[in-house]
Each structure stands twice: as structure tokens, then as C-alpha cells.
Amino acid sequence: MISGAGYGYVEQLTRRLDDGSDSSLYSLHGPILTLSFFTPECTWCKKQHRVLTELVVICRELNPVMVGINGNKVDYKQTLRRMSNTLPAIVAPQGLVAALPNLSVPRVIVIDSKWQVVTHLVGFSDAEMLLDILQQNNMCSS
């Protein structure tokens, strides 16, 4: 689906929702890029955000990015404010949206340092499940 840095949307600039600057997935990639897709008013997305915020403390290698989908910038920003978001947040690049099999949320995609998808989860994923996946793939030293 989205493995490999050769996809154009990886370098496509998109507006960051958290600080208003232009950025790309490529520039946001850390050791472990975790894309967390959300829509405004998605209750489960807010719970997923909370889990990722907690996991960052446990697994320092984790680099979660909130990805707004199926909404508009005003609603995304309001949702992120209500979440007390401190994570990087972007509007989903159109190429990425087109590469998804569907637009269901919450959705978490974990991508390793070589741009390979490690896991693609649709539906709420608790901290234990995500930490287990990260540890099984030697991506978290906790």
C-alpha cells in the first residue's frame, strides 16, 4: 500500500495543522513513523490519540503524526485543540488518501526507517497491542 519512499505523496508538501508550516511525510519521518488518521468528531480517534501520546513516553523511538482525513482544516484544528494535541499534525496528502483501501478511522500505520509498512491497523488499537507490535519488530527498546 504505502511502502517505499518512491511514492510522490511522501515528499508532497502539506499544511501542518499544529504550527501552520508546510511539511511532508518525509520531513516528519523519525526512526518509527506512526500515522494516526482521524476525522473531526471521531470519539475512537480521540482515544487512539491518547494511547499514542502515552506510548511516546514508553517508546522514545516512536514518532506519531496525526493525519486529518475527511474534514476541513477548521474542524481538524478544533479537534486537535480538544485533544490537547502536542504531536505533529497534517492534512492527509491526496496521494496518500488515494492509496488507502478505504477511509475508515481510527487507523494507525507504522512505518519503519526504510519506509516499509510494519503494520496497518483499522479500528482502535490499545497501548498493549501497539507496544507488542513494536517490540516484536525490534522497534521499541522499552
Domain ranges, ordered by start, for the chain: 8-136
Q: Which ranges in the chain belong to alpha helices (H)?
A: 25-28, 43-58, 73-82, 94-99, 127-136
CA triple 85-89-90, angle to 5 deg: 155
pLDDT of residue 142: 65
Burial-class residue 11 by CB neighbours within 10 Å (0-12, 13-18, 19+).
Answer: middle
pLDDT digits (tens, 9 = 90+) for 6-19: 456 778 888 899 88
Give the architecture (CATH level 2) of 8-136: 3-Layer(aba) Sandwich (3.40)
Angle between helices 43-58 and 73-82 (to 10 degrees): 60
Confidence label for 135 from pLDDT (cuts 50, 70 and 90) = very high
pLDDT of residue 113: 85
Q: Which helix (H) or strand (E) holds 89?
A: strand 89-91
pLDDT digits (tens, 9 = 90+) for 57-116: 999 889 999 999 999 999 999 999 999 999 999 999 888 888 899 999 999 999 998 888
pLDDT of residue 7: 54
pLDDT of residue 4: 47
